Amino acid sequence: MNHYSGLKNALIAFFLLLASLYALPNIFGSDLAVQVSAAGDAPIAKIDVNKVESILKGKSAYKSIGLSNRRILVRFDDTASQLFAKDLLKAGLGRNYIVALNLAPSVPLWLADLGGKAMSLGLDLRGGVHFLLEVDMQAVLSMSIDKYYNELRALLRTDRLYKSIKKEGDSIAIRFKSLELKDKALARIKSDMSDLVVLETQSTDDLLIQVGISDDAKKIAKKSALKQNITTLRNRVNELGVAEPIIQQQGLERIVVQLPGVQDTARAKEILGAVATLEFRLVDEKNDPQTAIQSGKTPIGSKLYYFKDGRPLLLKNRVITTGESITGASSGIDQENNIPMVNITLDGAGGRSMLDTTKKYLHHRMAVVFIENKVETLTDDKGRVIIENGEPKKKRTTTKDIINAATIQGTFSSRFQITGIDSAREARNLALLLRAGSLSAPIEIIEERTIGPSLGADNIEKGVLSVIVGFVLVLLFMVVRYRVFGMVANIALTLNLVMIVAVLSLLQATLTLPGIAGIVLTVGMAVDANVLIFERIKEELVTHSDIQKAISSGYDKAVLTIADANITTLIAALVLFGFGTGPIKGFAITLSIGIVTSMFTAIIVSRAIINKIYGGKKLEELSI
């Protein structure tokens, strides 16, 4: 009685050892680092590491340079070296790389190879900027009505089916000359524009109908606008040089943007609100760009542009159409030639311009130019904002990069494919740029918070202190109240904390202040299970003279009560996680993990220790 098999003890020891191993990375702290990654999610190779080393060699002292998770981490001993190196790398690497300040965990290589990672800290613990953005969904619907209005007018104009057509709020009013033309138009709308539905009206005019966007089409338009804005914002945040930003959807109309380490909200707003667009231009096939560079003169009717990698190309001055005409873009594979491609959809005006151009310039090359206007607040060598005439000094720049130049293979208008792309990855990136060149709907910053690094450190200090104080008080109470059994409960409680940290590290769940509150609550709840067990053992000692049987009965009879209490709490935690947002989710995660691990340590681990101390022995009394 009160004896676990050798296999069961070995399994318990194995799980505890594994938990200790994966909790270990959190004691090594972090290094000041500069993170270098490729723009557009391109891969980083050893040649890029060599390039970083050559830029820093002899100019900035660093601890180490390493390649990890498709990014380069350069570690430093002090802040001055870190900031100086960031400026050097930003100037030396150019816009094809994203250079950001970061804190890199100092996990030993052998532990990192085993998958050991430190916990991910939330914005309230690391410091940074939090924005809550709201997408103007009314503008989304308005733009959708504009698009359908143009398409509907073009569709019905071919056979002169309507007498008049005009927009009225969120609907389109169409008047006909006869009922016959009305029936033909309705049949055409039903077959070619299934996203539109006929609305019920109070009008008695049989020759007038109101059409609007179907509920499903509205949902798709809103969802698409939200996703495209998230993609656009993510691209713009990359330009800000932020390590590990969080950009995610909240609800049906809002976007959360968290920028760790950023303290300048004005600059963050400038980047988030930057205006970008696209242009489609024909390539000047008759003139050589190198000749234009060497002579310093561009041919009449053409202008010199560059790819992101620096390759020059002459493009015609006339713009075929702009990114504002793009209504959709997706990547795929050409089934006939098995090569990457991007599918483009333009609105009516853009389609007509593209049709005229492709008819006239078949087999010529057409380029896609990405244009972005940015406003940057200038700072001095020490990172302080430069003030001029009482206002921050700003630098406005416009970048124009060719992202693709491909041959026109056939005549097309609103829908066409771009081929001649090197890889599927490049096709996905191109489609992303085409969709995210500009915000698909206006956004408004409805909430902003700045958390300083000192406040983040203070939050960590106070959070850890609260865990320690709660932990120590519980330890003292258990030792005084239950003596040897109390010491066993304390060991189980310590192992429970180790397991919580290990699971958070393995899952890379973000630890926030509410998450720390969940851990503090778990400390009290974890020992509560042992209190129930020990009190049950005391009751059994009154009715049983056999101490071994009393210990066994105490554990067995208390398990169901403990399970019921913890399962109901776990259900509440899962509901919080499912329906809550932000801080509530952080609290629910740590609470859920704590409940599961506490049941393991309080019931199984504590009993294994009690079995080793008292199991199989003739006892006269218990220290409980």
pLDDT tens profile 86-137? 888 888 887 678 787 777 778 887 888 888 888 877 777 777 788 888 887 8
Split at pLDDT 50, 70, 90, the class of 526 is confident
Confidence category of residue 19, pLDDT binned at 50, 70, 90:
very high
Distance linking the first and last C-alpha atoms of the chain? 19
Q: Quick one: 199 and 93 in the same domain?
A: no
Last residue within a domain, chosen from 175, 203, 219? 219
- 184 inside domain: yes
pLDDT tens-digit readout, 142-151: 878 888 888 8
**Both 149 and 97 in a single domain?**
no
Whether residues 442 and 471 share a domain: the answer is no
pLDDT reported for residue 439: 67
pLDDT over 60 at 436, yes or no: no
Residue 265 is assigned to a structural domain of this protein = no
- Decide which of 29 and 535 is more confident: 535
Domain extent for 566? 6-24+460-614
What CATH code is carried by the domain that includes residue 573?
1.20.1640.10
pLDDT at 265: 61
Of 242-246, 303-307, 478-482, the range with the lowest mean pLDDT is 242-246
Strands of the 415-418 sheet, one edge to the other: 326-334, 339-346, 415-418
For residue 202, give the CATH number of its domain. Answer: 3.30.1360
Q: Looking at the structure, do residues 507 and 374 belong to the same domain, yes or no?
A: no
Distances (CA, A) of 389 to 21, 33, 123, 392, 394: 58, 36, 34, 8, 12
Share of the chain above pLDDT 70, in %: 88
User: Does residue 522 share a domain with residue 488?
Assistant: yes
Q: What are residue 479's phi and psi, to 5 degrees? A: -65, -45
**303 falls within a domain:** yes
Are 363 and 323 within one domain?
yes
User: Would 224 be classed as within a structural domain?
Assistant: no
Q: Is 173 inside any structural domain?
A: yes
Indicate the pLDDT class of residue 240, thresholds 50, 70 and 90: low
Q: What is the mean pLDDT of residues 414-424?
A: 75
Mean pLDDT within 247-276: 71
Q: Looking at the chain, how many residues does it have?
A: 624
Q: What's the pLDDT score for residue 376?
A: 56
Look at residue 395 in the predicted model and tell me its pLDDT. Answer: 66
Q: Does residue 263 lie in a domain region?
A: no
Q: How many domains does the chain have?
A: 4
Say whether pLDDT at 269 is over 70.
Answer: no
Higher-confidence residue of 281 and 615: namely 281
pLDDT attached to residue 282 = 93
- For residue 70, being part of any structural domain is answered with yes
Whole-number pLDDT of residue 461 = 80
Answer yes or no: is pLDDT of 283 > 90: yes
- The pLDDT of residue 565 is 85
Same domain, 539 and 587: yes
Q: What is the CATH number of the domain that holds 331?
A: 3.30.1360.200
Mean pLDDT of 470-482: 86
Say whether both 284 and 405 belong to one domain. yes
Mean pLDDT over the full length of the chain? 82
> What pLDDT shows up at residue 394?
60
Statement to judge: residues 437 and 472 lie in one domain:
no
Mean pLDDT of 224-247: 76
Q: For 81-85, 332-336, 379-383, 494-498, which range has the lowest pLDDT when averaged over its residues?
A: 379-383
Average pLDDT on 278-291 reads: 89
Mean pLDDT of 283-296: 90
What's the number of CA atoms in the CB half-sphere (13 Å) around residue 538?
11
Comparing 329 with 264, which gets the higher pLDDT?
329
Residues 503 and 523 in one domain: yes
| 3 state DSSP class of 67 | strand
Statement to judge: residues 292 and 359 lie in one domain: yes
Q: Which of 82, 105, 128 is the endpoint of a domain? A: 105
Which pLDDT band holds residue 503 (cuts at 50, 70, 90)?
Answer: very high
Query: Can you say how many angstroms the Cα of residue 6 is from the centroid of all Cα atoms in its chain?
Result: 46
Sign of the CA dihedral running 405, 409, 413, 416: negative
CA distance 255 to 267: 19
Give the range with max mean pLDDT: 439-443, 518-522, 603-607. 603-607
498 falls in which pLDDT band (50, 70, 90)? very high
Q: Are 316 and 282 contacting, i.e. CB atoms less than 8 angstroms apart?
A: yes
Q: What are phi and psi of 366, to 5 degrees?
A: -125, 135
pLDDT at 396: 57
Domain end point (choices 416, 450, 484): 450
**Confidence at residue 80, expressed as pLDDT on a 0 to 100 scale:** 83
> Residues 150-192: pLDDT tens digits?
888 888 887 788 888 888 888 899 988 888 888 888 888 888 8
- 280 and 323 Cβ atoms separated by less than 8 Å: no
- Residue 500: predicted pLDDT: 92
Residues 92 and 75 in one domain: yes
- What CATH number is given to the structural domain containing 55? 3.30.70.260
Residue type at 371 in one-letter notation:
I
Contact call for residues 596 and 552 (beta carbons, < 8 A): no
In a domain, 475, yes or no: yes
